[in-house]
Structure 1
Amino acid sequence: MKPTRRLERELAADPTGVPRVVAAMDEVGRGCLAGPVSVGVVVSDLLRRAPSGLRDSKLLPSTRREELVRPIRSWALACAVGHTEAEEIDRIGIMAALALAGRRALAQIRATGLTPSIVLLDGNHDWLTRQTDLFAAFESSEGSSPAASSASSSYETAAPRVAETDDDESQPRVVVRIKADMTCTGVAAASILAKVERDALMREAHAGDPRFAWDENKGYASPAHIAALAEHGPTPLHRRSWRLPGTGAGDGMMVP
């Protein structure tokens, strides 16, 4: 399946004749045991030809993803990657952490002078905000333990604790689309940027602490990673609020 700009063009169209700014967004690292969760965002140039070979990052080998970064950055009107670190994930929960990384990426887009009026997300769930307004405050569940997640996302917290918010007058409308990372050019590009940048961060972390093979597993629950956790215990890069396999650590996360 080859991604196209059809949906982005439809969303950008405005009866007034002034095109809307559409920011396409995707996340990586949500199911990891260690490292940040990262969100890429791309405002596509809907007039120029997109780089050849854009696909969902999961369908591309690492070398091809890295080759596409420069063409994507040259083609996009604006692009950015935002991160939320493991300590922040422990403090506010994974869903709020996803939203925070997305807001950080959008802040970089706004700094270029572009203000997105629509944000296009992959999937059938608005993980950027579970409220009407993108930058509205999250409910505080301070003092409660992270709830167990569903079977389909068994490493995730079901509800955030307390998330920081941005003071921003712009509140883009969020549009979700199943398989947008496979069918929408901007989302595919965002997934590539986020994946490449996060993988680079995990390789740097591996260079400082090679015991967990982060250069290979990128923080996911590989057998080598789990074995190292059992032997050495968690590091500051690990999401300690989760019940990390082999350690018994965490107060509310479920491991399959």
Structure 2
Amino acid sequence: MRYTVSLEHERALWDAGARVVAGIDEVGRGALAGPVSVGVCALERRKDWPEGLADSKELTPARREAMAVALAGFGVARAVGHADASEIDEHGIVGALRLAGLRAMSTLTRQGVVVDAVLLDGTHDWLTPPAADLFAAASGDPILALVPDAPPVPPVTTVVKGDGRCASIAAGSVLAKVERDALMAAADGDHPAYGWGRNKGYGAPVHLKALRKHGPSPLHRLSWSLPARDL
């Protein structure tokens, strides 16, 4: 089912007392190579959004890039954070998502924006720190240690298919997709065998074939089940 974005979920949080609501979405969770990227768009109360705004997956590359330009004036702040392949290997995909999200949130903080509430795409809140057990309490939070200027995470509301329903989340998805795609297209110049200019690090046939022939690059997620190199 294809949804049409609105500000319904944002409005509910504004009505509940939040001044700034941030929509957050991730890109690259299922890729074999490259970073996982998290886009954030922070909004104060408003009634409009850029015409044509939608889930990034529903837009062509050209329309995504045009929308990213249009989003430059949408809301009070926007940011994209990344966690690279080595960080995914070290902290797992959920930890890497939180790391990328906190990096994006810290960018908003440096811009002087305080977020009061978060709308997060999906069903699982990966942004809020997990409850600490005795070992974690003693050893500290390894993710937070990497983003010492990260603000406390405000209350998070998850929204199923939020990237197609909430204007703020859709904006975050477009910003993250455009920035991550650009990173992978640039990396394609250094590692052309894997076809990242087209597949952006996902498991396309040309990418899998190159992994079997050449093995992984420094940008691959080595903790993942990559195809074995042919002998």
TM-score by length of 2: 0.89
Q: Take 2:134 and 2:122, find their aligned partners in 1: how far apart are those partners?
A: 21
Q: How many residues align?
A: 222
CA 138–179 in structure 1, closer or farther in 2 if over 3 Å, else same: farther
CA 169–36 in structure 1, closer or farther in 2 if over 3 Å, else same: closer
How much has 1:163 moved relative to structure 2?
3.1
Aligned letter for 2:208?
I
Aligned letter for 1:126?
D
- Superposed counterparts of 1:30-49, under 5 Å: 30-47=29-46, 49=48
Q: Deviations over 1:213-237 (max 9, x none)?
A: 0000000000000000000000110
Whose helix proportion is higher, 1 or 2? Answer: 2
Partner of 2:86: 87
- Superposed counterparts of 1:24-63, under 5 Å: 24-47=23-46, 49-63=48-62
Aligned letter for 2:209?
A
How much has 1:9 moved relative to structure 2?
1.3
Q: Deviations over 1:162-192 (max 9, x none)?
A: 5344445633011101111111001001000
Which of residues 182, 206, 213 is equivalent to 2:164? 182
Percent identical residues: 46
How much has 1:45 moved relative to structure 2?
4.6
- Superposed counterparts of 1:176-215, under 5 Å: 176-215=158-197
Question: What secondary structure, in the 3-state scheme, does the structure 1 residue paired with 2:33 have?
Answer: coil
- Superposed counterparts of 1:101-250, under 5 Å: 101-129=100-128, 131=130, 162-165=142-145, 166-167=147-148, 170-247=152-229
How much has 1:47 moved relative to structure 2?
2.2
Q: Take 1:57 and 1:138, find their aligned partners in 2: how far apart are those partners?
A: 40
Kindly indicate whether the alpha-carbon contact (under 8 Å) linking 1:41 and 1:187 is maintained by their aligned counterparts in 2: yes
Partner of 1:68: 67
Kindly indicate whether the alpha-carbon contact (under 8 Å) linking 2:43 and 2:76 is maintained by their aligned counterparts in 1: yes
Kindly indicate whether the alpha-carbon contact (under 8 Å) linking 2:106 and 2:151 is maintained by their aligned counterparts in 1: no
Kindly indicate whether the alpha-carbon contact (under 8 Å) linking 1:87 and 1:239 is maintained by their aligned counterparts in 2: yes
CA 48–70 in structure 1, closer or farther in 2 if over 3 Å, else same: farther
Aligned letter for 1:209?
H
**Structure 1 gaps, min length 5:** 141-160, 249-256
TM-score by length of 1: 0.81
How much has 1:20 moved relative to structure 2?
2.5
Deviating more after overlay: 23-32 vs 118-127: 118-127
Which of residues 3, 8, 26 is equivalent to 1:6? 8
RMSD: 2.2
Kindly indicate whether the alpha-carbon contact (under 8 Å) linking 1:35 and 1:237 is maintained by their aligned counterparts in 2: yes
